[in-house]
Homo-oligomer: A and B are copies of this chain.
Amino acid sequence: MTPKTDHFFRQRRPETPVLVVDLDIVADSYRTLRRVLPQIEVFYAVKANPAPAILRVLADLGSSFDAASVGEIDACLTAGAGPERISYGICSKKQRDIAYAYGKGVRLFAFDSEAELDKLAEAAPGANVYCRILTPNGGADWPLSRKFGCELDMAADLMIRARELGLVPYGISFHVGSQQTRATQWAVAIDRVGEVFVRLAKAGITPQMVNIGGGFPITYREPVPGIEVFAEQIEGAVARNFGRKRPRMLMEPGRYMVGAAGTLYSEVVLVSRKSYAEELRWVYLDIGKFGGLAETMDECIKYAIRTPHDGGETGPVTIAGPTCDGADILYEKCAYQLPKGLRSGDIVMLDATGAYTTTYSAVNFNGFLPLRDVYI
């Protein structure tokens, strides 16, 4: 919720569903991170919201970028970031995509397996490569599972192998999971990085960089600890593990940079009941799981919802999207209440929807257009 987005919506009344993003909030988030964690470079996780307007604001402020595909690399270059400010941060890449990025001047690449190192050696000779390690994700509302990263002994072996292949064994990375509210998980992870550094020292390798990933939480329905709490854990662990030999440090915030900047305006399509026996109402919105709110999967992310009837009497609701699909239900287990006055045609506002919404939107499911987005 920002006064700017609400003013815009009231004045323009764009067709719903529409995401309105306040670029001032994006800039504020960047400045906050720079102030609280001045020794850690920001590589914005483009996947959170790759809108050109956002990339331009961040490029102008001096941010670097974490890209997951050649499409995202091109978007960063177009926004004015040089290739030296881009990390190709996904551990599974097609060899021809590595070659494409290398051809554009990108020299920083993630990996977590020997097969990926072979591709990098072939398509990005001499590049800086960093190995992602597994670390606990408990406490994250959107855990990243074990999809990327390897165990510590394997990570050390792979860094040695990278050197053998003519690559620069440049750093170690991790990710504690997205919307991670447990600040100590960064300390746990940095301790694990420290272990890998110790193993590598025995092989004569001193990595130059640590990438602490993203995951900083933002406020949805529930308050979360402030960024200072996370900074304290991170800096404490860095001091403990590296002392005066502090490596170059990067972070990859995505949600933290753009989430709060976005407000999603949606029309109520229908409010109904299924039976006379139940008080429960079903509220159908014109935005759903396949229109951009994919992070409601398993009700992981719980968006705050405002309505024109706030303050009036409320009752329990199940909230669903506009499609025929039975899986297109946003919330039925986590006790949402909405005003009893809510009706078809009302406009509701979903706050903090700037991250992981527009690009998750399905191209045409049930014949509905993808989520519109506006940057102001």
Contacts and interface: CB of A to CB of B under 8 A. Distances in A.
Given A144-B326, A326-B177, A274 B150 contact: yes
Contact of A147 (B75, B94, B178, B326): B326
A251 interface: no
Contacts of A358: 363-364
Please give the count of copies of this chain that the complex contains.
2
A47 B367 contact: yes
Interface stretch (A26-34, A85-93, A242-250, A304-312): A85-93
A362 B270 CA distance: 26
Nearest to A327: B297
A269 B92 contact: yes
A135 B274 CA distance: 12
Given A92-B322, A270-B116, A363 B362 contact: yes
Interface stretch (A62-70, A160-168, A183-191): A62-70
A366 B92 CA distance: 13
A275 B323 contact: no
B115 A271 contact: yes
Interface in A102-141: 112-116, 119, 134, 137
Interface of A: 45-47, 50, 67-73, 75, 89-95, 112-116, 119, 134, 137, 142-151, 153-154, 177-178, 267, 269-277, 282, 284, 286, 290, 294, 297, 320, 322-329, 343-345, 358-370
7 nearest CB pairs, A to B: A71-B367, A144-B326, A113-B272, A69-B367, A72-B367, A151-B275, A92-B284
